[in-house]
Chains A and B, each alone.
Chain A
Amino acid sequence: MSIDAFEGPLDLLLHLIKTSEVDIYDIPIAPITNQYVRYLDLMGVLNIEVAGEYLVMAAELGLIKSRMLLPREETDGDDETLEDPREELVRRLLEYQRYKDVSEELSRCDLLGRDVFSPPPDDDAVLSSIPQEIEKRDVWALLGAVQDILRRREQSQVPPLSINLEPMSLEEKIVEIDLALRSSGRIDFEELFTQTPTRFVVVITFLAVLELIRSAVVMVYQEMPFSRIELLYVGGAAAE
């Protein structure tokens, strides 16, 4: 399965820089690289493919990191400062950020087929026929929560109960969550994980939730970044 919370390595880096509240003009390469690699690890654990470009970037970060460790001469005799090993990366990040900002502005325009409409209706088909994706922000929020859950699982002394040896399939998990939501209307994302599940169950639960979001049965709600995540049942309206 291929899904991503970010548009690419530059997007991920910008996100890490922003949430760590570091200065983009003086990036602490070592901690940022660590966070970056941990994200790739999490993807691995969740059996989610990442584009090759992420791995290329990991290597580049490693290279920059090692260059930063080497003693650098401030000038090369001609009174010109040698390039900071991070400079190229920062340039790329800034350029990407520039276009990300523009794309934000574009999304706020009145879109034909989404906000405004014209006769005949066939014209509106342009936008409505473009396949939609899950909101990246939602995916990232869920990933963050899953990461916490996995970490707590590692730290807790209680071994996962394996009385029920019947492996659950993704479909069964989807049905289970769907039923739970149908009756209660909303549920905390974390509640889906209260019975010290095995890592396998954690992964399946996460994928099941993604599938439910994708089919517009469930919506993610998070009042503020890092506050608890709620899943809302919206399936009734879209029932097919």
Chain B
Amino acid sequence: MSEERIKKGIESIIFVSDRPVTVDELLKVFTGLKRSQLTKALAELKTEWEELGRGFRLEEVSGGYRFRTSAEYREEILRFNQSKPFKLSRAALEVLAIVSYKQPVTRIEVDRIRGVDSSGVLGMLLDKELIEVRGREEVPGRPLLYGTTDKFLEVFSLASLNDLPEIKELDELEQSAVEG
């Protein structure tokens, strides 16, 4: 199979998939190919789509590849879908911030950091599959431990947890305040 043929095959798969397509999944489809060949094809596809400069492009999110529209056209799409411009509540964002950095983390810990009861928000985020239960902490009470999901990465357009925004270390904050 020629390189071009492979790329077009991958492209078609990504087009019909309802979630990011991973290299592992492609290996099962293109059984004769090596991982490195697929990775190279994907990287080339991504660049080619970018250079095309269309209304949507190929993005790497949550460890896989998916077609996504450019943020530039959100107005048109929202109008087409007849939805109002949307905001994630600050509470949801704060809980997600804590869970994404401290995972696995218990509800008590989240409550402690925010200073308020966060069970409602946690329940909602669980429901939306942005966080999940990872197990229980082995202490009296065996409270549930939470972590973020792949869906979280996809919704926030992150390729992996390594792409989370930088967080200032607490001592750094104290240091800069003392000097500043």
Contact = CB atoms under 8 A, between A and B. Distances in A.
Given A96-B113, A98-B168, A238 B88 contact: no
B97 A103 contact: yes
Contact of A9 (B18, B83, B96, B115): B115
B96 A106 contact: yes
Given A95-B170, A130-B92, A118 B67 contact: yes
B93 to A, nearest CB: 4
B117 A99 contact: no
Contact of B74 (A24, A105, A116, A131): A116
Nearest to B70: A116
B19 A7 contact: no
Instruction: Summarize A's interface: helix, strand, loop or mixed.
Output: helix
B88 A130 contact: yes
A110 B56 CA distance: 13
For B19, B77, B117, which residue has the most chain A Cβ atoms within 10 angstroms?
A: B77
A159 B5 CA distance: 84
Contacts of A99: 94, 97-98, 101, 113-114
Contacts of A113: 86, 155
Contacts of A120: 18
Contacts of A111: 86, 88, 155-157
Nearest to B99: A99
Interface string B133-152: 00000000000000000010
B84 A109 contact: no
Given A123-B19, A127-B128, 14 more contacts: A8-B116, A95-B113, A102-B100, A103-B96, A106-B165, A109-B156, A109-B158, A110-B156, A111-B155, A112-B154, A112-B157, A113-B86, A126-B155, A128-B83
7 contacts: A9-B116, A92-B115, A103-B93, A110-B156, A112-B155, A114-B86, A128-B83
Interface of A: 7-11, 24-25, 51, 53, 57, 92, 94-107, 109-124, 126-133, 135-136, 216, 238
